[in-house]
Structure 1
Amino acid sequence: MADAAVEFLLENLQQLLLYHAHLISDAKNQVETLENDLRLFKAFLKDSTKKRRKDDSLRELVRQIRDVVYEAEDIIDAFVTQAAESKSKNYFLRAFQTPVKLLGIAKEVEAIGGKVRAIYGDKSKLDFATLSVADGGAEETEAPLVRQENVVGFEDEAEKIIGYLTNEADYLDVISIIGMPGLGKTTLAGKIYRDPAIQYEFPTRIWVYVSQEFTKKDVFISILREFTRITDEMYKKSDHDLAREVSSHLERGKFLIVMDDVWTAEDWDKLQIAFPKSNKAGKILITSRHEDVAHHANRIRGPHNLRFLTQEESWLLLRLEVFGKPECPSELEVLGKLISEQCGRLPLAIVVIGGILVKKFSASEEMTARKNAWRKVSESVSTYLNEDPQRRMEKIISLSYDKLPYHLRACFLYLGMFPEDFEIPVWKLIRMWIAEGFIQQKTGITLEETAENYLEDLINRNLVRIDKMRRDGRVKTCRIHDMLRDFCRIEAGNEKENFLQEIKKSSDGVFDPPVDDVKKFRRICIHSNVLNFVCSRPYGPRVRSFVCFSKEEITLPSENVSTIPAAFKLLRVLDAKPVKFTKIPSDLYHLVHLRHIALSFNLGVLPSSFSKLWNIQTLIVDTTSRTLDIKADIWKMIQLRHLKTNASATLPKTGKSSKEGQKLQTLGTISPQSCTDEVFDRAGNLKKVGIRGKLATLLDGKNGGSFDSLGKLGSLEKLKLLNDVFPSPPSEGQLRGLPQPYKFPPKLRSLTLSDTFLDWSKMCVLGLLENLEVLKLKDKAFMGKCWEAADGGFRQLEVLLIGRTDLVFWVASAHHFPRLRRLELENCEELREVPIGLADIRSFQYLDLYRTKHAAGSAKKIREAKEKMQDEQTAKINGFKLTIFPPDE
């Protein structure tokens, strides 16, 4: 990934010059020259994005840029590492001639820069803002085959869309089919296009393949071809005149136009000028990979998101592709089902693997031979998919990949670091992206907000799937389809990139790729056989990320605790929570480039030496101890943005400088005694805080901490209060009350309470928090048999969770929670009913009951009431959803 390499090295050089110029003082001139050439490379790479795959000379130049930038990055990072390790800078510079090496690499960079400048001609006219690589001619576009045979699993989808198309509308109706590459959008559109009911309903039916490289003239003429003979004179007309001519033919009568493969909202805007909005009988069916296209084309009707095949449909489609009929020899049935399952319910993958089974393994072979052949395929479906001579999977995904803005490419490929079918925590993902330098700083918003926007863009392009949503409506976890993940690994792991590599152990007990090859890679992930890998003494002088998401917890033997930091000295990301360290190796403190670290250990102290990691942005520590004494001076870790631990952390005393700590956004969970004016004055930009310990001391202002100090946090949006009175039983930690509303942080949007044993009468305090949108009452946060909601509170509350309480009677109505959207009741086993009046809340959409059996009947009544209130149109858009577990309740 040349783009990402240049972007990160530029950012890295700027950070070094800003914060640690003394470490590179002897190489300052070379660094400044390098910086100028990198800006040229950045502009060139951005401009040449679309042309690289089809131009060998451009690809070779991009490869040279990537290699020389990687080498420069390695030299600078190694220089900084050794300078930081050295006790004497002068001694270090005599011993290590990095400025000489840097001068050499700067000359190489300059030479390649000359090649780039030659492409653009006169250097004196070079303008980074207007660079333009000459196009080698119009790109060929190939219309996709609209398959007529073996259409499986689209009956319900087709019926629904045909219903939309045949219903009357008050405007020119646009219906969109949206889905990831290979899901069957074109196939479904073709099935609908050929349906007898559609043929009867629409005398005029036109299929237009749009593609990425369309011209308005070609599209308009392809439509006019249905109405008139195309002459040379028509090609001479302007796009505007052709659009008017199309519109005149479509002004009257029924018509259906299928716009297949529309890529952007801007593309739709260019074409929709030809469609008469006054013709209510007209319909347009769009297929696209991008949600934005659908929402832009029709702001009233949402898109039809195409589902994946079921396992049964997948198996049927494979049988039809291989045998031409639903029947399959019984000897191959088990293996066939296994193969179809590994295609990830993606129609294109099933069609491709079916073709490979037909071509590679003849039906004339004896059954034993065929069975052995099918077994081989079942053991590595992804490998056989890549052997497809037409490279259909690669081609169709490459279209989406090539269309990505250059700043999204590295973010997308990085998803290959996670295991297959892994539930990816968004909080972690975006912080890993930031640590890698993939996220560009933008004025007015944080890096985290920009990263969330990047993820949303990938989701809208159907390259990433939402798995779980947060209660505030943001994405909590996401997934990537196995076929897309395979593409990421192949694209990023091939020899010309070495962007990332997954380490696996083969059935022969050998690591693939071999451990010796680790020295070539820049990022590695390993999710199984971790201990064996560590014990094999890997060495990766170029590795920037070491990631492990093993399902098993691994405890490193004492003799191996130093292996990872010693082997990978240039790490930026170390995320290995399944790997438990019995002690913290001293080599860890030499990893001065670390920006993101997530570790597990069984210690109760975070040593002072952690302060040496001055680049750290995210520090995640899991420990078996209930408390964590942080000896490290986190206030000197000037890049630190997020500190998370599962223990109750005691923070070090603050220093004199007021600038240290200003970047901190997340702090949790900390002890009540750490909640002081000094801490929160220093970390005044905190957005999330978690507090764990004896909360009574916090509310009473004892032992140094005070709730009043929290009120000064003007940016705080999320607060968690976990009452932990161990070794006393939780019930002995009952809080007598809560602070007055004005003492809470003014912008607080989300509040979580746990084990506080408050009386329900104290809820009126929380009701007066003006900006509170999410309230989670977990594990006996409130206790008592009856809660009668008070008037005038919870004006902004959208999400309410009540868990593990002895509440029996709850009295409330719609005006007590006017904006409630979601209600979750967990382990409220004595609650008799959910207040029926909540059904009158217009925004109320979700009601979830988990082990709250006595209230199940009232929950069903609320659903019935909601269904009666909503008219058909509203119900389609904002249908009420009730979830009860166990379901028989």
Structure 2
Amino acid sequence: MADAAVEFLLENLKQLLLYHAHLILDSKTQVENLENDLRLFKAFLKDSTKKRKKDETLRELVRQIRDVVYEAEDVIDAFVTQAAEIKSKSYFKKIFFTPAKLLTVAKDVETIGAKVKNIYGKNKIDFASLNIDGGVADDKIPDEKKDPSVRQENIVGLEDETDTIIKYLTEESKQLDVISIIGMPGLGKTTLAGKIFRDQRIQFEFPTRIWVYVSQEFRKRDVFLSILSNFTRITDDMYLKSDQDITKLLRMNLERGKYFIVMDDVWTAAAWEELQDAFPKANNMGKILITSRNEEVAFQANRDREPHKLRLLSSEESWLLLRLEVFGNPECPSELEALGKLIVEQCGRLPLAIVVIGGTLVKKASSGDTGARKNAWKKVSESVNTYLNDDQDKRMEKIIALSYDKLPYYLRSCFLYLGMFPEDFKIPVRKLTLMWIAEGFILQKPGISLEETAEDYLEDLIGRNLVMVEEVNPDGKIKTCRIHDMLREFCKNEAENTKENFFQEMKRSSGGNFEPSVSQVVNFRRLCIHSNVTSFISKKPFGPRVRSFLCFSKEDITLLPENISCIPAAFKLLRVLEGKSFKFTKFPSDITNLVHLRYLVLSSNFKILPDSIAKLWNIQTLIVDTTSRTLDIKADIWKMIQLRHVKVNASTTLLKTSKTKEGEKLQTLGTISHQSCTEDFFDRARGLKRLGIRGRIDALLDAKGMEKLVNLDKLKLVNDAFPLPPSEGRLPSLPQPYKFPPKLRSITLSATFLDWSHMPTLGMLDTLEVLKLKDNAFDGRYWEAAEGGFRHLEILHVERTNLVVWVAAGHHFPRLRCLVLRNCEKLEAIPVGLADSLQKLDLKRVSKSASESARRIEKVKESKQGTETSKRNQFKLYIAPGDE
């Protein structure tokens, strides 16, 4: 991790010297000298990337560099924190801070500089001859932005296994039937369950199909609420119900009717014992499919049925899987065939091992000449061969390590970071990429934003089969991703290893103590904790080196008044604080002393964000989740020069200040109140790419300046007439097309109650590709599409409307490829003419007649596409359970 640490500290020093040199006047020279030393380090690390894999001396040198960089970072940041605190204190308190303290910190920086020079001398490396801006070909970040490509999941074999389990699921039983798939990690239990879940025979048999992740650490109420969400809308009141009430409610919904539930990754028999109360045994039309590593789970769930033990792939299936992973089809160059077959046998015919190795080989498949490719495959085969005598678990672990070792240096930190999220967690891609940026893992490239580069990194990891795509947005961008349990375990082990000290997960043992102990927190650089959070915080941990604190707990956590200051006091050098899981009962004023924060998520009930938040001069991402309908930000966000993304779930009022050229980095702002949308606001917000507005949207009809948002890509307008009912805020019309931002690609309208006759206004926006109409954005029973509009619209999402008749043909939406309909129960039919361009139709809670029209569209598409259409371009129809 030395490479990322050096890059980050260099950027940190650059910003410090540029904007806050007044804080380090007494040690500015030492800091500048250290900056020069770090540039040489950067050159050495890039130049030695390949050599250090085989040279222990170089690896030891890299560890020394990393340790020195970490030490430098700690000293400088502690100094800056101390100086910032003193600067904010009153005159009378300042007199207690003597120059001796500044000199002490300056000497610490000087000592680190001496250590750097000592490493130079000991190893006698000619740093001057290194290319400071150069790099190694394999590790060089591509300059061109490539189109995102989500890898298709390749499911090979398992036809016999699939047929066997579907036979169990479709046969009659006397009571609730539970079938279990048992097998070792990486064998493909979840893949097989997914194949069964999507099988047409199952879709036909079960109108209600539900998938829920259980995992090692779970809360019964979360599992039950996840299942309940398929039967009813989960309201805030429901979250307040007791576990017993939620269990009872779920039982009522499952007592009758035909349903199929997949419970993925149940770890123990005790876990099933805890969950089974909600499933009425008397309903013999219910079927549950469990996946587990533990055979005891299967016996506990159903003593009358033997568990289905998943087999390894056959040699032929293994070889086919590798070809699909590497080449995307069953073809393989003849010169690579023998080596490929040898590799899959060395993988023990374990699907996950083959997929991971396939991710390593995919970049070698098309690079270089025939001889070079064959040599690359031979090296991989020889590497895997050394693990043949290990058992399957150890072999899998070493194969993952082999893939990890072949990652470019700039991807390693990003990959290990995934281990900080809970097991089976759906990781929001936007959150992940912004965290990577805050951590300093993303390198700035000319002409490309940090956010775009971070997305490239993720796509690279997906292409290498180290990350799985979970959900994809209608526009094709990845919404959430996951990491396989074994890969997560590898990340944790590698990160917690004493040589790396990348991050540490805090867990409480059965004895009630934390492992590792709370006293050891003093040694760690990043912490994650996903359970027993209140207990951990109440022990008042102290982590002077901790830079990141992530909490994705499923518990309901409200910090008591005496614990509100514990986190700022414990971790003064924090860069990343993911705190959505715990609620602050009042604004934690001490948090503004964390001047190194770059990413901050706060959960609260407060209505005001004080002006002191501006003291966080490094903040890049600020997310506030509040139970209040409104939030008043008292700080001038335009003067927070590093701020890139502000996201608040309440209607937010911004401070009115004089015009300034600052705030040019701000890209995301939402949701702000309509009162904040003044002409002055639009003048200074020209760099925005995403904007959300919540309030009386009709007040914006006469607003001046929205067209000045020349970089705006996404606009979300949420009409909120509170305390009046939503329909009272009905919009009489829309602004004229020339008043909209000129490059607008996506618009979301919510609760605007517009008449369908105003739809042509949106149709005249030339750049519009995505249109989302939610919560009665348009009102009326009849919509006839107008001529000549929506020339570039690709995605249309309509949710909660009283629309009955929709008249449209293909030429009204010439490029429409994705149509999403939600809660459109009155809509009689989907226009068949839209079939011309449609590639995806996604329906949930629509009428039976609308579902039938979707089936007709599917038949039209099938007749036109024929059998030679590529898998990527095939028409996809999804109708939610119960709508068919």
Same fold (TM over 0.5): yes
> For each residue in 1:418-473, what CA deviation from the matched residue of structure 2 results, as whole angstroms up to 9, or x when unmatched?
11111011111111111111111111111111111111111111111111112221
Question: Are 2:121 and 1:114 equivalent residues in the alignment?
Answer: yes
| Alpha carbons 1:649, 1:671 under 8 Å: kept | yes
Q: Which amino acid aligns with 2:600?
A: I
Q: Distance in 2 between matches of 1:158 and 1:865?
A: 33
5 Å matches for 1:842-881? 843-874=838-869, 876-881=871-876
Q: Which runs of 5+ in 2 are unaligned?
A: 138-154, 163-184, 189-311, 324-330, 344-356
Match for residue 680 of structure 1 among 682, 689, 701:
682
Deviation at 1:668, TM superposition (A): 0.2
| Alpha carbons 2:551, 2:580 under 8 Å: kept | yes
Q: Which amino acid aligns with 1:824?
A: V
> For each residue in 1:797-829, what CA deviation from the matched residue of structure 2 results, as whole angstroms up to 9, or x when unmatched?
011011111111000000001101110111111
* Partner in structure 2 of residue 7 of structure 1: 7
| Alpha carbons 2:773, 2:799 under 8 Å: kept | yes
* Partner in structure 2 of residue 311 of structure 1: none
> For each residue in 1:604-628, what CA deviation from the matched residue of structure 2 results, as whole angstroms up to 9, or x when unmatched?
1111111111111100001111010
Q: Percent identity?
A: 60
Q: Distance in 2 between matches of 1:805 and 1:131?
A: 56
Match for residue 396 of structure 1 among 394, 399, 406:
399
Q: Distance in 1 between matches of 2:672 and 2:378?
A: 47
5 Å matches for 1:132-171? 154=157, 156=159
Match for residue 774 of structure 1 among 763, 767, 770:
770
> For each residue in 1:518-537, what CA deviation from the matched residue of structure 2 results, as whole angstroms up to 9, or x when unmatched?
11110000011000000011
* Partner in structure 1 of residue 40 of structure 2: 40
Q: How many residues align?
A: 689
Q: In structure 2, do the counterparts of structure 1 residues 487 and 211 end up closer, same or farther at CA, with 3 Å as the change threshold?
A: farther
Q: In structure 2, do the counterparts of structure 1 residues 187 and 602 end up closer, same or farther at CA, with 3 Å as the change threshold?
A: farther
* Partner in structure 2 of residue 76 of structure 1: 76
Q: Distance in 1 between matches of 2:342 and 2:447?
A: 33
* Partner in structure 2 of residue 666 of structure 1: 668
Match for residue 101 of structure 2 among 80, 83, 95:
95
Question: Are 2:846 and 1:885 equivalent residues in the alignment?
Answer: no
5 Å matches for 1:420-459? 420-459=423-462
| Alpha carbons 2:845, 2:883 under 8 Å: kept | no
Q: Distance in 1 between matches of 2:596 and 2:372?
A: 56
Q: In structure 2, do the counterparts of structure 1 residues 636 and 94 end up closer, same or farther at CA, with 3 Å as the change threshold?
A: farther
Q: Which amino acid aligns with 1:270?
A: G
Q: Distance in 2 between matches of 1:127 and 1:289?
A: 29
Q: Distance in 2 between matches of 1:211 and 1:66?
A: 40
Match for residue 268 of structure 1 among 366, 372, 376:
366
RMSD: 3.4
Q: In structure 2, do the counterparts of structure 1 residues 269 and 621 end up closer, same or farther at CA, with 3 Å as the change threshold?
A: closer
Q: In structure 2, do the counterparts of structure 1 residues 602 and 352 end up closer, same or farther at CA, with 3 Å as the change threshold?
A: farther
Deviation at 1:504, TM superposition (A): 0.7
* Partner in structure 2 of residue 482 of structure 1: 485
| Alpha carbons 2:360, 2:464 under 8 Å: kept | no
Deviation at 1:655, TM superposition (A): 3.2
Deviation at 1:54, TM superposition (A): 4.2
Deviation at 1:114, TM superposition (A): 2.6
Question: Are 2:814 and 1:829 equivalent residues in the alignment?
Answer: no
- The secondary structure found in structure 1 opposite 2:11 is helix
Q: In structure 2, do the counterparts of structure 1 residues 266 and 649 end up closer, same or farther at CA, with 3 Å as the change threshold?
A: same
Q: Which amino acid aligns with 1:268?
A: S
* Partner in structure 1 of residue 622 of structure 2: 619
Q: Which structure has more RCO (C-alpha within 8 Å, separation ≥ 6)?
A: 2
* Partner in structure 2 of residue 209 of structure 1: 339
- The secondary structure found in structure 2 opposite 1:209 is helix
Deviation at 1:158, TM superposition (A): 14
| Alpha carbons 1:565, 1:588 under 8 Å: kept | yes
- The secondary structure found in structure 1 opposite 2:522 is helix
* Partner in structure 2 of residue 223 of structure 1: none
Question: Are 2:820 and 1:817 equivalent residues in the alignment?
Answer: no
> For each residue in 1:223-270, what CA deviation from the matched residue of structure 2 results, as whole angstroms up to 9, or x when unmatched?
xxxxxxxxxxxxxxxxxxxxxxxxxxxxxxxxxxxx988735466342
5 Å matches for 1:613-652? 613-652=616-655
Deviation at 1:43, TM superposition (A): 2.2
Q: Which amino acid aligns with 1:811?
A: V
Question: Are 2:722 and 1:726 equivalent residues in the alignment?
Answer: yes
Q: Distance in 1 between matches of 2:70 and 2:56?
A: 21
Q: In structure 2, do the counterparts of structure 1 residues 158 and 46 end up closer, same or farther at CA, with 3 Å as the change threshold?
A: farther
- The secondary structure found in structure 2 opposite 1:41 is helix
Q: Distance in 2 between matches of 1:859 and 1:130?
A: 55
* Partner in structure 2 of residue 542 of structure 1: 545
Q: Distance in 2 between matches of 1:517 and 1:58?
A: 29
Q: Distance in 2 between matches of 1:458 and 1:441?
A: 19
Deviation at 1:635, TM superposition (A): 1.9
Q: Distance in 2 between matches of 1:274 and 1:665?
A: 44
Deviation at 1:65, TM superposition (A): 1.1
| Range that drifts further, 716-725 or 93-102 | 93-102
Q: In structure 2, do the counterparts of structure 1 residues 392 and 874 end up closer, same or farther at CA, with 3 Å as the change threshold?
A: same
* Partner in structure 2 of residue 336 of structure 1: none
Deviation at 1:352, TM superposition (A): 10
| Range that drifts further, 585-594 or 877-886 | 877-886
| Alpha carbons 1:181, 1:396 under 8 Å: kept | no
* Partner in structure 1 of residue 697 of structure 2: 695
Q: Distance in 1 between matches of 2:322 and 2:410?
A: 41
* Partner in structure 2 of residue 216 of structure 1: none
| Range that drifts further, 871-880 or 510-519 | 871-880
Match for residue 517 of structure 2 among 514, 517, 541:
514
| Alpha carbons 1:263, 1:289 under 8 Å: kept | no
Deviation at 1:68, TM superposition (A): 1.1
Alignment TM-score, normalising by the size of structure 1: 0.73
| Range that drifts further, 21-30 or 507-516 | 21-30
Larger Rg: 1
Q: Distance in 2 between matches of 1:807 and 1:194?
A: 49
> For each residue in 1:654-697, what CA deviation from the matched residue of structure 2 results, as whole angstroms up to 9, or x when unmatched?
33432x11111001000001111211211210000000011112
* Partner in structure 2 of residue 604 of structure 1: 607
* Partner in structure 2 of residue 555 of structure 1: 558
> For each residue in 1:322-359, what CA deviation from the matched residue of structure 2 results, as whole angstroms up to 9, or x when unmatched?
xxxxxxxxxxxxxxxxxxxxxxxxxx9xx999x58xxx
Q: Distance in 2 between matches of 1:3 and 1:623?
A: 38
- The secondary structure found in structure 2 opposite 1:533 is helix
Deviation at 1:584, TM superposition (A): 1.7
5 Å matches for 1:462-477? 462-477=465-480
Q: Distance in 1 between matches of 2:110 and 2:821?
A: 65
Q: Distance in 1 between matches of 2:160 and 2:33?
A: 59
Deviation at 1:597, TM superposition (A): 0.2
Q: Which amino acid aligns with 1:30?
A: Q
Q: Distance in 2 between matches of 1:742 and 1:476?
A: 31
Question: Are 2:464 and 1:461 equivalent residues in the alignment?
Answer: yes
Q: Which amino acid aligns with 2:762?
A: L
Q: Distance in 2 between matches of 1:506 and 1:432?
A: 29
Match for residue 795 of structure 1 among 791, 795, 804:
791
- The secondary structure found in structure 2 opposite 1:38 is helix
Q: In structure 2, do the counterparts of structure 1 residues 20 and 158 end up closer, same or farther at CA, with 3 Å as the change threshold?
A: same
| Alpha carbons 2:506, 2:514 under 8 Å: kept | yes
Q: Distance in 2 between matches of 1:193 and 1:474?
A: 26
Q: Which amino acid aligns with 2:673?
A: S
* Partner in structure 2 of residue 59 of structure 1: 59
> For each residue in 1:526-559, what CA deviation from the matched residue of structure 2 results, as whole angstroms up to 9, or x when unmatched?
0110000000110000000011111122100001
* Partner in structure 1 of residue 175 of structure 2: none
| Alpha carbons 1:210, 1:260 under 8 Å: kept | no
Alignment TM-score, normalising by the size of structure 2: 0.73
Q: Distance in 2 between matches of 1:193 and 1:25?
A: 61
5 Å matches for 1:8-407? 8-87=8-87, 91=97, 93-96=99-102, 97-116=104-123, 118=124, 120=125, 122=126, 125-128=129-132, 154=157, 156=159, 188=316, 207-209=337-339, 263=361, 265=363, 268-272=366-370, 355=391, 385=393, 391-407=394-410
Deviation at 1:742, TM superposition (A): 1.0
Match for residue 496 of structure 2 among 493, 496, 517:
493
